[in-house]
Amino acid sequence: MNALRLIATGGALPGRTVTNEELSHMVDTSDEWITTRTGIRTRHWCTAEENAATLAIAAAKQALERSGLAPADIGCCICATLSAPDATPSVACRVQAALALPENRPALDVNAACSGFLYGTAVARGLLATMGGRYALVVGCEALSRLMDPADRSTCVLFGDGAGAAIFELTADPVPFAAVLGARGSAVLHAGGPSRTGSAPITMDGKAVFRFAVDALPQCLHAVLEETGRTLDEVDWVVCHQANSRIIDHCVRALKADPAKFYKNMERHGNTSAASIPVALNELAESGRLQPGQLLACIGFGGGLTWGGMIVEYK
Ligand code: ACO
Protein backbone atom coordinates (compact mmCIF):
# COMPACT_ATOMS: atom_id res chain seq x y z
CA MET A 1 0.00 0.00 0.00
CA ASN A 2 3.10 2.24 0.19
CA ALA A 3 2.11 4.16 3.32
CA LEU A 4 4.62 6.30 5.15
CA ARG A 5 5.11 6.50 8.88
CA LEU A 6 6.97 9.35 10.58
CA ILE A 7 9.69 7.93 12.78
CA ALA A 8 12.03 10.78 13.78
CA THR A 9 12.45 14.54 13.51
CA GLY A 10 15.19 17.15 13.86
CA GLY A 11 15.40 20.91 13.69
CA ALA A 12 17.78 23.85 13.48
CA LEU A 13 17.24 27.58 13.87
CA PRO A 14 19.75 30.27 13.01
CA GLY A 15 21.63 32.29 15.60
CA ARG A 16 20.05 35.71 15.18
CA THR A 17 16.64 36.40 16.74
CA VAL A 18 14.85 39.50 15.44
CA THR A 19 12.03 40.99 17.49
CA ASN A 20 9.18 43.17 16.24
CA GLU A 21 10.70 45.97 18.30
CA GLU A 22 13.98 45.62 16.37
CA LEU A 23 12.09 45.72 13.06
CA SER A 24 10.30 48.88 14.13
CA HIS A 25 13.73 50.60 14.05
CA MET A 26 14.41 49.29 10.53
CA VAL A 27 11.06 50.08 8.84
CA ASP A 28 7.91 52.05 9.64
CA THR A 29 6.07 49.35 11.60
CA SER A 30 5.14 48.45 15.16
CA ASP A 31 4.88 45.41 17.39
CA GLU A 32 1.14 46.09 17.61
CA TRP A 33 0.65 46.07 13.79
CA ILE A 34 2.67 42.89 13.29
CA THR A 35 1.19 40.88 16.17
CA THR A 36 -2.43 41.77 15.45
CA ARG A 37 -2.15 41.13 11.68
CA THR A 38 0.07 38.04 11.77
CA GLY A 39 0.58 36.66 15.30
CA ILE A 40 4.37 36.93 14.79
CA ARG A 41 6.54 38.33 17.61
CA THR A 42 10.04 37.09 16.75
CA ARG A 43 11.74 35.33 13.85
CA HIS A 44 15.26 33.99 13.29
CA TRP A 45 17.54 35.24 10.53
CA CYS A 46 20.75 33.60 9.38
CA THR A 47 24.07 35.03 10.48
CA ALA A 48 26.75 35.56 7.82
CA GLU A 49 28.02 31.99 8.32
CA GLU A 50 24.59 30.35 8.06
CA ASN A 51 22.41 29.48 5.08
CA ALA A 52 19.65 27.02 4.14
CA ALA A 53 22.19 24.22 3.65
CA THR A 54 23.99 24.63 7.00
CA LEU A 55 20.60 24.58 8.75
CA ALA A 56 19.47 21.57 6.71
CA ILE A 57 22.60 19.61 7.63
CA ALA A 58 22.14 20.33 11.36
CA ALA A 59 18.46 19.35 11.30
CA ALA A 60 19.13 16.21 9.22
CA LYS A 61 21.94 15.05 11.55
CA GLN A 62 19.64 15.40 14.54
CA ALA A 63 16.82 13.45 12.86
CA LEU A 64 19.20 10.66 11.81
CA GLU A 65 20.67 10.39 15.32
CA ARG A 66 17.23 10.26 16.91
CA SER A 67 16.01 7.61 14.46
CA GLY A 68 18.73 5.20 15.58
CA LEU A 69 19.34 4.42 11.90
CA ALA A 70 22.69 4.32 10.12
CA PRO A 71 23.40 6.52 7.07
CA ALA A 72 23.27 3.35 4.95
CA ASP A 73 19.61 2.85 5.92
CA ILE A 74 18.53 6.07 4.18
CA GLY A 75 17.05 5.30 0.77
CA CYS A 76 16.77 8.88 -0.50
CA CYS A 77 17.40 12.45 0.60
CA ILE A 78 15.02 15.21 -0.44
CA CYS A 79 15.38 18.86 0.57
CA ALA A 80 12.51 21.28 0.06
CA THR A 81 13.64 24.88 -0.29
CA LEU A 82 13.18 28.03 -2.35
CA SER A 83 16.26 29.69 -0.88
CA ALA A 84 19.14 27.27 -1.55
CA PRO A 85 22.50 29.06 -1.36
CA ASP A 86 23.49 27.74 -4.78
CA ALA A 87 21.78 26.35 -7.87
CA THR A 88 24.26 23.49 -7.62
CA PRO A 89 25.34 21.62 -5.59
CA SER A 90 21.83 21.22 -4.26
CA VAL A 91 21.15 21.35 -0.53
CA ALA A 92 20.29 17.64 -0.71
CA CYS A 93 23.73 16.83 -2.13
CA ARG A 94 25.36 18.86 0.63
CA VAL A 95 23.34 16.89 3.20
CA GLN A 96 24.34 13.62 1.50
CA ALA A 97 28.01 14.52 1.85
CA ALA A 98 27.77 15.87 5.41
CA LEU A 99 25.92 12.81 6.70
CA ALA A 100 27.91 10.37 4.55
CA LEU A 101 24.74 8.94 3.05
CA PRO A 102 25.44 6.16 0.53
CA GLU A 103 26.24 7.41 -2.96
CA ASN A 104 23.94 4.98 -4.78
CA ARG A 105 20.77 6.74 -3.54
CA PRO A 106 18.97 9.77 -4.99
CA ALA A 107 19.45 13.23 -3.45
CA LEU A 108 17.61 16.23 -4.86
CA ASP A 109 16.01 19.55 -4.00
CA VAL A 110 12.32 20.26 -4.49
CA ASN A 111 10.84 23.77 -4.78
CA ALA A 112 7.16 24.09 -4.05
CA ALA A 113 7.56 27.12 -1.75
CA CYS A 114 5.57 26.75 1.48
CA SER A 115 4.12 23.38 0.38
CA GLY A 116 7.63 22.09 -0.30
CA PHE A 117 7.87 19.70 2.63
CA LEU A 118 4.69 17.92 1.51
CA TYR A 119 5.85 17.81 -2.10
CA GLY A 120 9.25 16.52 -0.93
CA THR A 121 7.66 13.80 1.15
CA ALA A 122 5.55 12.69 -1.82
CA VAL A 123 8.66 12.56 -4.02
CA ALA A 124 10.46 10.52 -1.35
CA ARG A 125 7.57 8.09 -1.10
CA GLY A 126 7.58 7.61 -4.86
CA LEU A 127 11.34 7.05 -4.94
CA LEU A 128 11.24 4.49 -2.13
CA ALA A 129 8.33 2.65 -3.77
CA THR A 130 9.89 2.54 -7.24
CA MET A 131 13.65 2.43 -6.61
CA GLY A 132 13.76 0.51 -3.33
CA GLY A 133 14.70 1.50 0.18
CA ARG A 134 12.81 1.62 3.44
CA TYR A 135 13.63 5.03 4.95
CA ALA A 136 13.63 8.55 3.50
CA LEU A 137 15.19 11.72 4.86
CA VAL A 138 13.04 14.77 4.01
CA VAL A 139 14.19 18.25 5.01
CA GLY A 140 12.46 21.63 4.72
CA CYS A 141 15.00 24.47 4.96
CA GLU A 142 14.94 28.17 4.22
CA ALA A 143 17.01 31.32 4.45
CA LEU A 144 14.23 33.70 3.41
CA SER A 145 16.06 36.63 4.98
CA ARG A 146 18.36 36.41 1.94
CA LEU A 147 15.42 36.88 -0.44
CA MET A 148 13.71 39.77 1.33
CA ASP A 149 14.00 43.48 0.83
CA PRO A 150 14.75 44.54 4.44
CA ALA A 151 13.28 47.96 3.62
CA ASP A 152 9.88 46.56 2.51
CA ARG A 153 7.69 46.59 5.61
CA SER A 154 4.93 44.61 3.90
CA THR A 155 7.14 41.50 3.64
CA CYS A 156 10.21 41.80 5.89
CA VAL A 157 8.11 41.43 9.05
CA LEU A 158 6.65 38.10 7.90
CA PHE A 159 9.51 35.77 7.08
CA GLY A 160 12.09 33.81 9.06
CA ASP A 161 14.82 31.22 8.49
CA GLY A 162 15.08 27.66 9.79
CA ALA A 163 15.14 23.96 8.97
CA GLY A 164 13.22 20.89 10.03
CA ALA A 165 13.99 17.29 9.10
CA ALA A 166 11.93 14.12 9.16
CA ILE A 167 12.69 10.45 8.63
CA PHE A 168 9.85 8.47 7.14
CA GLU A 169 9.51 4.71 6.85
CA LEU A 170 7.76 3.11 3.89
CA THR A 171 5.56 0.38 5.29
CA ALA A 172 3.19 -2.31 4.05
CA ASP A 173 1.37 -2.18 7.41
CA PRO A 174 -2.22 -0.93 7.14
CA VAL A 175 -1.43 2.40 8.82
CA PRO A 176 -3.52 5.44 7.96
CA PHE A 177 -1.84 7.50 5.26
CA ALA A 178 -2.97 9.88 2.55
CA ALA A 179 -1.37 12.61 0.48
CA VAL A 180 -2.81 15.23 -1.87
CA LEU A 181 -0.94 17.86 -3.89
CA GLY A 182 -2.04 20.63 -6.22
CA ALA A 183 -0.88 23.71 -8.11
CA ARG A 184 -2.33 26.78 -9.80
CA GLY A 185 0.31 28.89 -11.52
CA SER A 186 0.13 32.49 -10.32
CA ALA A 187 2.71 35.09 -9.31
CA VAL A 188 0.68 36.67 -6.46
CA LEU A 189 3.66 35.63 -4.35
CA HIS A 190 7.00 36.11 -6.15
CA ALA A 191 10.68 35.85 -5.26
CA GLY A 192 13.91 35.84 -7.25
CA GLY A 193 16.66 33.35 -6.45
CA PRO A 194 19.40 34.05 -3.88
CA SER A 195 21.86 34.94 -6.64
CA ARG A 196 19.43 37.67 -7.72
CA THR A 197 18.85 39.05 -4.22
CA GLY A 198 18.24 42.75 -4.42
CA SER A 199 16.92 42.69 -7.98
CA ALA A 200 13.86 40.55 -7.25
CA PRO A 201 13.10 40.32 -3.55
CA ILE A 202 9.89 38.73 -2.25
CA THR A 203 6.74 40.54 -3.28
CA MET A 204 3.23 39.50 -2.41
CA ASP A 205 -0.40 40.45 -2.86
CA GLY A 206 -1.18 39.72 0.79
CA LYS A 207 -4.95 39.82 0.47
CA ALA A 208 -4.97 37.47 -2.55
CA VAL A 209 -2.68 35.05 -0.71
CA PHE A 210 -4.94 35.21 2.35
CA ARG A 211 -8.02 34.36 0.26
CA PHE A 212 -6.15 31.49 -1.43
CA ALA A 213 -4.89 30.11 1.90
CA VAL A 214 -8.26 30.06 3.68
CA ASP A 215 -9.71 28.24 0.67
CA ALA A 216 -6.86 25.72 0.20
CA LEU A 217 -6.37 24.77 3.85
CA PRO A 218 -9.84 23.26 4.58
CA GLN A 219 -10.02 21.67 1.12
CA CYS A 220 -6.72 19.85 1.65
CA LEU A 221 -7.76 18.76 5.13
CA HIS A 222 -11.10 17.39 3.89
CA ALA A 223 -9.37 15.59 1.00
CA VAL A 224 -6.90 13.67 3.17
CA LEU A 225 -9.52 12.89 5.80
CA GLU A 226 -11.81 11.50 3.12
CA GLU A 227 -9.02 9.39 1.61
CA THR A 228 -8.23 7.79 4.97
CA GLY A 229 -11.88 7.54 6.06
CA ARG A 230 -11.01 9.44 9.24
CA THR A 231 -12.72 12.39 10.90
CA LEU A 232 -10.99 15.46 12.29
CA ASP A 233 -11.83 14.17 15.78
CA GLU A 234 -9.60 11.15 15.12
CA VAL A 235 -6.62 13.35 14.22
CA ASP A 236 -4.41 14.29 17.18
CA TRP A 237 -2.53 17.22 15.63
CA VAL A 238 -3.14 19.46 12.64
CA VAL A 239 0.16 21.01 11.60
CA CYS A 240 -0.48 23.74 9.02
CA HIS A 241 2.03 25.91 7.25
CA GLN A 242 2.78 28.71 9.74
CA ALA A 243 2.19 31.75 7.53
CA ASN A 244 -0.08 33.77 9.70
CA SER A 245 -2.12 32.96 12.78
CA ARG A 246 -5.23 34.64 11.32
CA ILE A 247 -5.27 32.13 8.44
CA ILE A 248 -5.34 29.21 10.90
CA ASP A 249 -7.87 30.93 13.20
CA HIS A 250 -10.16 31.63 10.24
CA CYS A 251 -10.10 27.93 9.23
CA VAL A 252 -10.58 26.66 12.79
CA ARG A 253 -13.72 28.81 13.05
CA ALA A 254 -15.00 27.74 9.61
CA LEU A 255 -14.43 24.07 10.47
CA LYS A 256 -15.86 24.50 14.01
CA ALA A 257 -12.73 22.60 15.07
CA ASP A 258 -10.90 22.38 18.37
CA PRO A 259 -8.22 25.10 18.18
CA ALA A 260 -6.00 23.18 20.61
CA LYS A 261 -5.15 20.56 17.99
CA PHE A 262 -4.01 23.18 15.44
CA TYR A 263 -0.35 23.67 16.36
CA LYS A 264 1.00 27.22 16.08
CA ASN A 265 4.54 28.52 16.45
CA MET A 266 4.66 31.51 14.05
CA GLU A 267 4.75 33.73 17.14
CA ARG A 268 8.38 32.63 17.66
CA HIS A 269 9.58 31.78 14.14
CA GLY A 270 7.54 33.79 11.65
CA ASN A 271 6.85 32.22 8.27
CA THR A 272 9.69 29.85 7.35
CA SER A 273 8.07 28.55 4.14
CA ALA A 274 9.12 24.93 3.43
CA ALA A 275 10.67 24.64 6.90
CA SER A 276 7.56 25.60 8.85
CA ILE A 277 5.81 22.20 8.93
CA PRO A 278 8.90 20.08 9.82
CA VAL A 279 10.04 22.66 12.40
CA ALA A 280 6.59 22.39 13.99
CA LEU A 281 6.66 18.57 13.86
CA ASN A 282 10.06 18.63 15.55
CA GLU A 283 8.82 20.92 18.33
CA LEU A 284 5.82 18.69 18.94
CA ALA A 285 8.03 15.59 19.12
CA GLU A 286 10.76 17.22 21.22
CA SER A 287 8.27 18.51 23.77
CA GLY A 288 6.68 15.08 24.15
CA ARG A 289 3.28 16.31 23.01
CA LEU A 290 3.48 14.15 19.89
CA GLN A 291 3.16 10.58 21.13
CA PRO A 292 3.73 7.28 19.32
CA GLY A 293 0.55 6.10 17.63
CA GLN A 294 -0.83 9.62 17.23
CA LEU A 295 -2.21 10.80 13.92
CA LEU A 296 -0.99 13.97 12.23
CA ALA A 297 -2.62 16.02 9.48
CA CYS A 298 -0.08 18.30 7.78
CA ILE A 299 -1.39 21.01 5.46
CA GLY A 300 0.76 23.28 3.30
CA PHE A 301 -0.19 26.20 1.01
CA GLY A 302 1.95 28.83 -0.60
CA GLY A 303 3.86 30.25 -3.51
CA GLY A 304 3.41 28.75 -6.93
CA LEU A 305 0.59 28.68 -6.00
CA THR A 306 0.88 25.22 -4.51
CA TRP A 307 -0.86 23.23 -1.83
CA GLY A 308 -0.61 19.84 -0.21
CA GLY A 309 -2.00 17.69 2.58
CA MET A 310 -0.88 14.52 4.32
CA ILE A 311 -2.19 12.26 7.04
CA VAL A 312 0.54 10.25 8.68
CA GLU A 313 1.06 8.27 11.88
CA TYR A 314 3.96 8.94 14.25
CA LYS A 315 6.16 5.87 14.93
N1 ACO B 1 3.61 47.74 9.46
C2 ACO B 1 2.72 48.76 9.42
N3 ACO B 1 1.92 48.97 8.37
C4 ACO B 1 2.01 48.12 7.34
C5 ACO B 1 2.92 47.04 7.33
C6 ACO B 1 3.75 46.88 8.44
N7 ACO B 1 4.66 45.90 8.54
N8 ACO B 1 2.80 46.39 6.16
C9 ACO B 1 1.82 47.00 5.47
N10 ACO B 1 1.36 48.05 6.18
C11 ACO B 1 0.33 49.00 5.82
C12 ACO B 1 0.12 49.13 4.35
O13 ACO B 1 1.05 50.04 3.78
C14 ACO B 1 -1.28 49.63 4.27
O15 ACO B 1 -1.27 51.01 4.54
P16 ACO B 1 -2.28 51.98 3.74
O17 ACO B 1 -3.64 51.53 4.12
O18 ACO B 1 -1.90 53.32 4.28
O19 ACO B 1 -1.95 51.78 2.31
C20 ACO B 1 -1.95 48.94 5.44
O21 ACO B 1 -0.90 48.53 6.33
C22 ACO B 1 -2.74 47.74 5.04
O23 ACO B 1 -1.92 46.94 4.17
P24 ACO B 1 -2.41 45.59 3.62
O25 ACO B 1 -1.35 44.97 2.79
O26 ACO B 1 -3.77 45.81 3.02
O27 ACO B 1 -2.51 44.82 4.96
P28 ACO B 1 -3.39 43.57 5.28
O29 ACO B 1 -4.42 43.94 6.24
O30 ACO B 1 -3.78 42.82 4.06
O31 ACO B 1 -2.32 42.69 6.06
C32 ACO B 1 -0.97 40.76 5.65
C33 ACO B 1 -1.14 42.25 5.39
C34 ACO B 1 -0.75 40.51 7.11
C35 ACO B 1 0.24 40.26 4.87
C36 ACO B 1 -2.26 40.09 5.15
O37 ACO B 1 -2.55 40.42 3.83
C38 ACO B 1 -2.21 38.63 5.29
O39 ACO B 1 -2.41 38.10 6.34
N40 ACO B 1 -1.95 37.92 4.17
C41 ACO B 1 -1.85 36.50 4.20
C42 ACO B 1 -0.70 36.12 3.44
C43 ACO B 1 0.51 35.84 4.27
O44 ACO B 1 0.56 35.77 5.46
N45 ACO B 1 1.51 35.59 3.50
C46 ACO B 1 2.73 35.13 4.02
C47 ACO B 1 3.52 34.55 2.95
S48 ACO B 1 2.65 33.57 1.87
C49 ACO B 1 2.51 32.07 2.46
O50 ACO B 1 3.26 31.66 3.28
C51 ACO B 1 1.42 31.26 1.95
Query: What digits encode the pLDDT tens for the residues 80-130?
Result: 999 999 999 999 999 999 999 999 999 999 999 999 999 999 999 999 999
Q: What is the pLDDT of residues 172-209, one digit of tens each?
A: 999 999 999 999 999 999 988 655 445 678 998 989 99
114 given a catalytic annotation: yes
List, in order, residues 6 or more apart from 244 with CB less than 8 Å away: 37, 38, 39, 40, 158, 210, 213, 266, 271
**Distance separating alpha carbons of residues 140 and 118, to the nearest angstrom:** 9
User: Would you say 186 and 31 are in contact if contact means Cβ atoms under 8 Å apart?
Assistant: no
In 3-state terms the chain splits into helix, strand, coil percentages (rounded to 5) of 40, 30, 30
Question: What's the CA dihedral at 92, 159, 265, 91 to 10 degrees?
Answer: 0
Residue 78 has pLDDT above 50, yes or no: yes
Give the number of other Cβ atoms within 10 Å of residue 104's Cβ. Answer: 6
Query: What is the predicted pLDDT for the residue at 196?
Result: 47
Q: How far is CA 105 from CA 72, 75, 127, 132, in A?
A: 9, 6, 10, 9
Residue 1 has pLDDT above 80, yes or no: no
Query: What is the predicted pLDDT for the residue at 201?
Result: 87
Percent of the chain residues topping a pLDDT of 70:
97
- CA 38 vs. chain centroid, Å, equals 18
Please state the atom number of ligand 1 nearest to the C-alpha of residue 212: 51
Pairing between β-strand 42-45 and β-strand 304-314 as defined by DSSP bridges: unpaired
Query: What is the predicted pLDDT for the residue at 61?
Result: 98
Q: What is the pLDDT of residues 15-36, one digit of tens each?
A: 999 999 999 999 999 999 999 9
User: Would you say 78 and 126 are in contact if contact means Cβ atoms under 8 Å apart?
Assistant: no
Q: Mean pLDDT score of the chain, rounded to an integer?
A: 95
User: Would you say 297 and 238 are in contact if contact means Cβ atoms under 8 Å apart?
Assistant: yes
Residue 76 has pLDDT above 60, yes or no: yes
Q: Which residues pair with 130 in a beta bridge?
A: none
Q: How far is the CA of 206 from the centre of ligand 1 (A)?
A: 6
Q: Which residues line ligand 1 (CB under 6 A)?
A: 29, 33-34, 37-38, 114, 153-154, 157-158, 189, 204, 206-207, 209-210, 213, 243-244, 246, 271, 301-302
Query: What is the predicted pLDDT for the residue at 193?
Result: 65
241 given a catalytic annotation: yes
Query: What is the predicted pLDDT for the residue at 56?
Result: 98
Query: What is the predicted pLDDT for the residue at 200?
Result: 76
Segment 239-268 mean pLDDT: 96
Segment 261-284 mean pLDDT: 98
**Global model pTM greater than 0.85:** yes
How many residues in the chain?
315
**Distance separating alpha carbons of residues 44 and 61, to the nearest angstrom:** 20
Q: Which of 241, 244, 251, 298 is catalytic?
A: 241
Q: Which of 77, 271, 282, 298 is catalytic?
A: 271
Q: What is the pLDDT of residues 133-168, one digit of tens each?
A: 999 999 999 999 999 999 999 999 999 999 999 999
Angle at 207 between CA 159 and CA 199, to 5 degrees: 50
Q: How far is the CA of 208 from the centre of ligand 1 (A)?
A: 11
Query: What is the predicted pLDDT for the residue at 195?
Result: 52
Please state the atom number of ligand 1 nearest to the C-alpha of residue 114: 50
